Chains A and B, each alone.
Chain A
Amino acid sequence: MNVTLPTTLVLQAVARGHHHGFDVMDATGLPSGTVYPILRRLEREGLLDASWEDAAEARDEQRPPRRYYAITADGEALLVKARARFRMPKDVPRARGLKPRPSES
């Protein structure tokens, strides 16, 4: 699949322990319309595993269960390659500021 900078950022965020969609957005600074399609693609490619959170815990908070994403072995392997390709230090926390703004180009 096409490994872009946002894809790499999302994959890295999940690897670093951000397991839910909104948390990944917070970690990467990417908008929701970008993050979710990437998560879905990664899941379909077998780079991420997805499951539903325990129903009892959700019920306590009076909300539906959240979807939980975890990185697979294939995902880890891809992440290493992708980091090298984007020359990304291991702990780049946020992409904000790196993202080119088309309107300013």
Chain B
Amino acid sequence: MTVRRDPVTLRLCLFVVRAAARLVPGGDRDAWRQEWEAELRHRWMRGGISRTAEAHLVKRSLGSLVDAAWMRRQLTLDADLVHDTSHGLRLFANAPGFTAIALLVFATGIGAATAIASLADALLVRRLPIPDADRVVTLWERNRKTGVGEEDVAPGNAIDWVSKTMSYSAVAAIEPWSLDYTPRGGEPEVLSGARVSAGFFDVLGVPMLHGRAFLPHEFARGADRVVVLSHALWRDRFGGDPAIVNRVVDLDAEPYVVVGVARPGVELRLFEARREPTLYLPKYFLDFEPRIRGTGYWNVVGRLKPGVSMVQARTELDALSAQLAREYPANTNLTGEIVALRDHLAGGIRPLLPLLLGVAALLLFVACANVTNLLLARGVTRGREFAVRQALGAGRGRLLKQMLTESLLLAIAGGALGVLLAKWTLSVIAALRPADVAGLERIAIDGRVAAIAVGVSLLAALGAGVTPAIQLSRAAAATALREGASGPAARRVRGLLVAIEVSVALLLVVGAGLLVRSLHEIQRVDPGFARAQVLALQVFAWDRNTTPAKLASFFEETIDRLRAHPGVDAAGAVSAMPFIEANINLRSPIVIDGRTPSPPGDDPLIFTTVVAGDYFTTMGIPLERGRLLERGDRADARKVAVVSRSAARKFWPGADPIGSNIRVRVSGRQTEAQIVGVVGDLRHDALDRPARPEIFFAHPQVPFGSMTYVVRGQPGAGLSLQALKQQVWAVDPRQAFYRTATLDELVARTLVARRFNVFVLSGFGGVALLLAAAGLYGVMSFSTRQRSREFGVRIALGAQPGDILRMVVREGVTLALAGVAAGVLAALALTRLLRGLLFGISAMDPWTYAGAAAGILVISAAASYLPARRAVRADPLVTLRAV
């Protein structure tokens, strides 16, 4: 016998039969299945070839479900259930339109709710691969004046927090650290790692995959040439070989011993860049570090002691911060902030989550309301059936039971479809996830969420089943023999449900609209520089340029080469590159000559930046007054500086800064300089953060090693990063690049979370709108069908079809108007939750509200127009006779 593969259709039929066979009691099952299979196969061989014949066969195989249910009924006690099931299945098969719409509505509601629940579950409830993850917290600085929080911590503060707090069983400071590594025969690359103080691996509480963590004596000068590899680095660069432990690796041209390999899946999203360290080194505190208070670039993580609550830890940190604020002027506005690791990992999506959970509940409610409406409407056509059954002795409970069984059937099928839909939605969400949100790449529907979905479908079934069942069984005896459940009470309930659906849709559309407008507004913000055609290449060039003179000549030479590269318009370099992840944010007190100096240590802070080459022209930063820094500003010339507009306004209010002499600390040295120019303001971290007061120095006068090259290409030149790197390698072949990107990419990165929120909220807003439109359409087509006799009479008596059209549409729009009014009120109350996500518009933006309301009314008019048109097109004679 040759191996053959059955055609898809036949396989589908056999699948149905096999599934149905599970219903058949064990003793008869095999024979039962054989009979069905034999018939199907026989029919197939005889000529089930044409499309219609195939469809017919599929339909026939579905009957096996009824047959199997019948077989089961012979042996089971709950004959009612079996009967109702088969009865229900038959009814659904007889009303494919109704069934399709009801299934779709259920699937959409359940799918959206499940997707949101899974999202929330992944971000808030999921298990982190860390024991007692709920006790692990991250500590940050918060500026009380600007309200900006979750900021990296200044070393001095981090050291005090680590050494003076009592709430933690382990607490550690983490310093970003990078090391050059050149694989044998490869290009030099920068490994971004972290120096971690003692206790870091105790905070995580996770044993090493291979080897060990650091020993106490390794946190000391001279003993610290040991390294723990992250799992990703170990796998990608060292071939996942466990024998790496105790081997020596050359980093920054120095030998380091690999002592351990960390486990995968432990993510912390540290530092401004929210990147994972790829390797860990021991951190011991250096003498000067406690003095650095104004510049935050460290992180602090801790594990709460058993019995210590988050509130207690916060109180302790607040008290300590207040004390530090009194001791150090740089700390005046600073306070500490404790964020649970789980919340920190949820990143920019966190403010949206409570809202999304609310949305999930609302969507599910809307889906239930819709199905309730559909069942109610259908109940009318079945009024007679129920009345007859009641007259023949069926109890009210019996009828209720049947209705509930039917709803459950719908809910189970809808739930299954919904889970599929949720799965698809989540894969779209995972593809679009912002980089600062951890854990979405693994998001999947797990058993618990599936259980939630099943529970939700069952609840939905009860919700959708109970109302029509009660209404119908109550109405059945008295009225349904004549007219069905069309009384004014039923009509009011249906109208109310539709109005609520419309209000939910309006609420979501307004929310999405506000986010879309905010995104639009923020994209119009001028960052202060021209983004197009500019490439950024970040280097840390300290290692082989050990003197100021060497640093100066290295950058002069490399920038000259970059400028001479074909297709390059302008090139320069800067210490504080706007929008780059690992930004250098150095601040210093500024003292202005001729002014009464502030009390020592109380000078206002200014951001200090070093620029080389044609930085300003490359970035398109406009000169407002005076002159830019020039090639003539050499090491031996008089030191000069340029300030940004907001620095000029802040430190020289109402006066011209040009010509004034200042003293600041820059590149580790106290520096005196004369202001020679004012340039435009730059945004640095994000478009929604204000520009900062900044002072720029010429690189030859204050050489600096952590720089980012900026290169502007001629339009259409299509510069290659690799070619630009070659120009730098021509000067030093061992120079590694830390981060390379276009300026556009760097700016776009800061908008990803916002885009994601817009996508999620408008997606679900669209679903709500669809559901509301379906609900209104269902109610209107039901009511027009019911009133077809009335329309017939009206037309027979001379009414124009246009009159009836207008009447019906007016009715639908009135319902929608009620919903819009309620929705506006709800939105006014609830969009306050969105305030943190808005930019440039108010939560009560009238245009957004008007647009959403107008859109919904138009859709409502369309949803009422279609059934109305169908009604007036019908032949009045036919309708008069039929009803």
Contacts and interface: CB of A to CB of B under 8 A. Distances in A.
Interface of A: 20-22, 25, 31-37, 40, 53, 58, 61-67, 101-103, 105
B385 interface: yes
A31 B93 CA distance: 11
B774 interface: no
B148 interface: no
Contacts of B34: 64-65, 67
B470 interface: no
B63 A67 contact: no
Interface in B35-84: 35, 37-39, 41-43, 45, 59-67, 70-71
Nearest to A67: B35
Contacts of B37: 63-64
Given A64-B34, A65-B34, A36 B70 contact: yes
Contacts of B71: 40
Contact of B384 (A31, A32, A58, A105): A105
Nearest to B30: A64
Contact of A31 (B1, B43, B60): B60
Interface residues of B, number: 29
Interface in B99-114: none
Contacts of A22: 39, 42-43, 60
Contact of A32 (B41, B64, B381): B64
B781 interface: no
Contacts of A21: 35, 39
B291 interface: no
Contacts of B70: 33, 36-37, 40
B286 interface: no
**What 5 pairs across the A-B complex have the smallest Cβ distances?**
A32-B63, A33-B66, A33-B63, A63-B41, A36-B67
A1 B560 CA distance: 104
Nearest to B64: A32
A58 B38 contact: yes
19 contacts: A21-B39, A31-B63, A32-B62, A32-B67, A33-B62, A33-B63, A33-B65, A33-B67, A33-B70, A33-B86, A34-B63, A36-B63, A36-B70, A37-B66, A40-B71, A62-B1, A66-B38, A103-B94, A103-B95
Contacts of A67: 34-35, 38-39
Given A62-B1, A67-B38, A103-B381, A25 B67 contact: no
Given A20-B42, A36-B70, A63-B38, 15 more contacts: A20-B39, A21-B35, A22-B43, A31-B59, A32-B66, A32-B67, A33-B63, A33-B65, A33-B67, A35-B63, A36-B63, A63-B37, A64-B41, A66-B39, A105-B384
Contacts of A101: 94
Residue among A40, A62, A64, A102 with the highest chain B CB neighbour number at 10 A: A64
Contact of B90 (A33, A65, A105): A33
A105 B1 CA distance: 53
A61 B65 contact: no
A32 B60 contact: yes
Contact of A66 (B35, B61, B86, B385): B35
B32 to A, nearest CB: 9
A92 to B, nearest CB: 22
Contacts of A20: 39, 42
Given A21-B35, A25-B60, A61 B41 contact: yes
Contacts of B39: 20-22, 66-67
Nearest to B70: A37
A102 B86 contact: no
A64 B35 CA distance: 8
B94 A37 contact: no
B385 A32 contact: no
Residue among B38, B71, B89, B385 with the highest chain A CB neighbour number at 10 A: B38
Contacts of A64: 34, 37-38, 41
A66 B70 CA distance: 20
Interface string B694-737: 00000000000000000000000000000000000000000000
Nearest to A53: B38
Contacts of A53: 38
A40 to B, nearest CB: 7
Contacts of A58: 38
A36 B63 CA distance: 9
Contacts of B66: 32-34, 36-37
Interface string B388-412: 0000000000000000000000000
Residue among B61, B89, B381 with the highest chain A CB neighbour number at 10 A: B381
A103 B92 CA distance: 11
Contacts of A40: 67, 70-71
Contacts of A62: 1, 41
Contacts of A63: 37-38, 41-42, 45
A65 B1 CA distance: 17
Contacts of B381: 103
A101 B385 CA distance: 12
Given A22-B39, A22-B43, A66-B39, A102 B385 contact: yes
Contacts of A25: 60
A69 to B, nearest CB: 10
A4 B37 CA distance: 28
Contacts of B42: 20, 22, 61, 63, 66
B63 A102 contact: no
A57 B735 CA distance: 81
Nearest to B39: A22
Interface string B9-39: 0000000000000000000000000110111
B94 A102 contact: yes
Given A22-B39, A102-B94, A103-B95, A61 B45 contact: yes
B88 to A, nearest CB: 12
A22 B35 CA distance: 10
A58 B64 CA distance: 21
A58 B41 CA distance: 10
B741 to A, nearest CB: 63
B67 A37 contact: yes
Residue among A33, A34, A37, A66 with the highest chain B CB neighbour number at 10 A: A33
Contacts of A61: 41-42, 45
Nearest to B882: A104
Contacts of B90: 33
A25 B42 CA distance: 14
A66 to B, nearest CB: 4
A37 B1 CA distance: 35
A38 B828 CA distance: 62
Given A66-B38, A67-B38, A32 B45 contact: no
A2 to B, nearest CB: 14
B114 to A, nearest CB: 32
A81 B184 CA distance: 97
A61 B1 CA distance: 11
B94 A32 contact: no
A11 B86 CA distance: 23
Contacts of B43: 22
A33 B70 CA distance: 9
A104 B37 CA distance: 34
A34 B795 CA distance: 43
Contacts of B63: 31-36
Nearest to A104: B882
Nearest to A22: B39
A101 B95 CA distance: 11
A70 to B, nearest CB: 15
A7 B59 CA distance: 21
Nearest to B60: A32
A25 B66 CA distance: 15
A58 B37 CA distance: 12
Interface string B227-252: 00000000000000000000000000
Contacts of B61: 32
